[in-house]
Structure formats: C-alpha cells, structure tokens
Amino acid sequence: MIGLLRWLLLPISLLYGCVVWLRNFLYDRGIWHSKSYPVRSIVIGNLAVGGSGKTPMTECLIRWFNSDYKIATLSRGYGRKTKGFRYVQIDDSAIATGDEPLQFKRKFPQLTVAVCEDRRTGIETLLSEHNLILLDDAYQHRRVAASCNILLFEYASLLGPIIPLPTGNFRDILPQAKRAHIIVITKIPKDLSVHQRAAIIKRLRKHSDAPIYFASIAYGAPKALSRPNDMTTNSSLVELRDKHVLLVTGIANPTPLIDYVRQQAQSVRNIALPDHHVFTPTDYEQIQVSYTQLASQGDTILITTEKDVQRLSIHSLASIPCYYIPITFVFDEEDHIRQDVINTLARYSVNEP
C-alpha cells in the first residue's frame, strides 16, 4: 500500500527533480556562487536520503588524519532543537546537538565538534584554529566549495532506478556525481562479484571520472552500557548465539544490522523506528513489554546502534541489559583511498593556524 501511494506521488517527484536540476544548474553556471575558504575541507555526503554510511566514513577520516591535522567536524545537527553555531560537549544531549555530532564527540573527546545549519558561518568560526574541517552531510550545501567531495552510495540504492523524492529516496540527481573527487560504494555484500562491481562502475562512469572504491561493514563486539550514554566502557559481550535479542533501531536502513544479528543470536525481535527518532514514554513502554515477552524464552538482551545510544535514556531501561554494536568500514583498498584524499587536499593552498 505504501509503495502504491509513493508511485501516485510521481508527478511531485518529477517537479522536485526539476527544481533540484535548476538549482544545480545555477551553481554550475556561476549564477549562484559557492564560496571557498583558506582551510582544507572535506565534504562527506550522498545523493539519497540517509543510510549510506556518512558517520562511519567521517570516523574513518578522523582516524586517518587526526595526528596530522587540527580537525573539526561540522554538521547541521539534524533533529536538534537549538539554533545557530554550537560547540558539542560530551555531556550534551542529542536534543541540543543532534545524535551524530554527539557520537563523534563521545568517541573522540579531544576532537572539536560543532553544529551549525549555515555551513559558511560554521567554517568562518572554526577556520582560524583548525586546518581540516570535515563537513558531514554537506554535498547539497553548495554555498560552500570544499577542497574534497567524498560521495557515498549505498550499494543497494544503485541496483534500481534513481528516482527523486517522494516516490524514490534520492534528494539529488545522479549527474551531480560529477562534482565528486572520490566515490565510495558502501555496504557491499561479501559475495559481490567482479561482474557486479563492473556494472556499478559502468553506471557511475556516465556521470563521473572520480576514483571509485568499495567498502563493506564490519560489526564489532557488542559493548555494554554500564551508565547512561557510556561510549568508552571496556565491557563487551562476545557470544550471542545463546541469547535472545531485542534489537532497537532508529536509523535509516537497519536491514544489514538485523541480518547480522540474526546470524549471531538465537532469536531476534526488532523494533524499527524512523531515522533520528526521539524516544517517547510510549516507546519505552513498548520496549519494556517486548523485552519481557522475549525474556520468557530465555537469556535476553537489548542491542541498539551507536547513533541510537545518543537518544536513548538508559535510566528508562534500567532493568534491561543494554548493549550497542559499533560499526566500521572495511575498504578493499584503504591505502589507496587515503592517499587519494591526501592528494586532493594537497592541491589547495591554505593558511595554517
């Protein structure tokens, strides 16, 4: 039924696509202007709505370059109730900063993490003290011209037609891949064949000459949350095969995680909520009821994602053993993509703080 309704909205998708095309045309022709800054910057973005792996890609960049640059991350802070520029602190709430910036700060406490809906204002505030700014989810923010654009595509999104919102899941048009310096195909299946890789590359080569890399997801051992929003505990649970799992997700595409946990655990019940969902008392009641039902079958735990940890109230789940599963990207050619980023940044002359 939902699929039918989305197809009925196809005329709106066509109109949306025309508006997006016109906006890009105005920037491409210089009628509307993108502003450059004397600081190295990397955009991490996608053309679709959510689920492509911008957060683990940003974390890869932090790990690769944290010892060589004075890094700041700058995000819009999606879902926050505050406005304007704000530095993110470890003890902030997702309501004040957004969940992904808060995750960055809690995983990398020494990192400067900031949110601002106007990326120009954010960069202008940060550039004097930093020499590399990571612009999370800013591919469509064309008012800023970054040093390096990294464009992500979730593998599954390239298997079908590229249709704009609301019928499809794309907020930008595929020809805009031409602006990417590097393209990463994420969440590839383990058994991806050479033929399938070639087909994806051929499709993108119609629009971009950028180097194309492939990355799969690696799941870490579940980490116990011994206190609210604790991202640093060393406690971990290695074995899931004798566990019943209540999997609570509020992310764009929980399917890969669901499949992974099902392969590991005795049984899984999933509560799938919308991306960036703000948990309500009703949600906590549903979680408690589902956990109690599942626990009647045997040893049961709750598992969630790193991003959801930022929004969950562990106090509200005090009677439930709660864990999160960290994820990272595994690149086929990590040294090559890292060097491509270095080479792209090196082309820009910048002021050093």
Q: For residues 150 and 184, is the Cβ–Cβ distance under 8 A?
A: yes
Q: Please confirm whether the linkage preceding 166 is cis (ω < 30° from 0).
A: yes
Q: What is the pLDDT of residue 226?
A: 59
Same domain, 214 and 264: no
**Cβ-based burial of 315 (10 A; exposed 0-12, middle 13-18, buried ≥19):** exposed
Same domain, 93 and 212: yes
Same domain, 196 and 237: no
Q: What is the pLDDT of residue 352?
A: 63
Q: What is the pLDDT of residue 3?
A: 73
Per-residue burial over 240-272, b = 16 or more CB atoms within 10 Å of its CB, e = otherwise = beebbbbbbbbbbbbebbbebbeebbeebebbe
Q: What is the pLDDT of residue 247?
A: 97
Q: What is the pLDDT of residues 49-71, one digit of tens each?
A: 988 999 999 999 999 999 999 99
Question: Which of 320, 286, 347, 353 lies closest to 126 in space, CA to CA?
Answer: 353
* Tokens, residue 154: 């979730």
Specify the amino acid at residue 171. R
Phi, psi of 328 (to 5 degrees): -140, 165
Q: What is the pLDDT of residue 353?
A: 61
Same domain, 289 and 205: no
Residue 57 lies in a domain: yes
Q: What is the pLDDT of residue 224?
A: 87
Same domain, 179 and 268: no
Same domain, 279 and 303: yes
Same domain, 105 and 86: yes
Q: What is the pLDDT of residue 349?
A: 61
Residue 351 lies in a domain: no
Residue 3 lies in a domain: no
Residue 317 lies in a domain: yes
Residue 2 lies in a domain: no
Q: For residues 286 and 250, is the Cβ–Cβ distance under 8 A?
A: no
Low-confidence ranges of the chain (pLDDT < 50): 227-230, 232-235, 237
CA distance 216 to 220: 13
Same domain, 91 and 229: no
Same domain, 17 and 117: yes
Q: Which long-range contacts (CB under 8 A, 24 or more apart) does 205-208 make?
A: 207/174, 207/175, 207/176, 207/177, 207/178, 208/151, 208/177, 208/178, 208/180, 208/183
Same domain, 17 and 65: yes
Same domain, 305 and 178: no
Q: What is the pTM of this model?
A: 0.93
Residue 182 lies in a domain: yes
Residue 26 lies in a domain: no
Q: Which residues contact 254 (CB under 8 A, 6 or more apart)?
A: 247, 270, 272, 305
CATH of the domain at 231: 3.40.50
Q: For residues 240 and 267, is the Cβ–Cβ distance under 8 A?
A: no
* Tokens, residue 116: 């601002």
Same domain, 193 and 278: no
Per-residue burial over 171-195, b = 16 or more CB atoms within 10 Å of its CB, e = otherwise = bbbbebbebbbbbbbbbbeeeeeee
Residue 337 lies in a domain: yes
Q: Which domain holds residue 37?
A: 8-21+32-218+330-346
CATH of the domain at 89: 3.40.50.300
Domain count within the chain: 2
- CA–chain centroid gap for 31, Å, is 31
Q: What is the pLDDT of residue 228?
A: 42
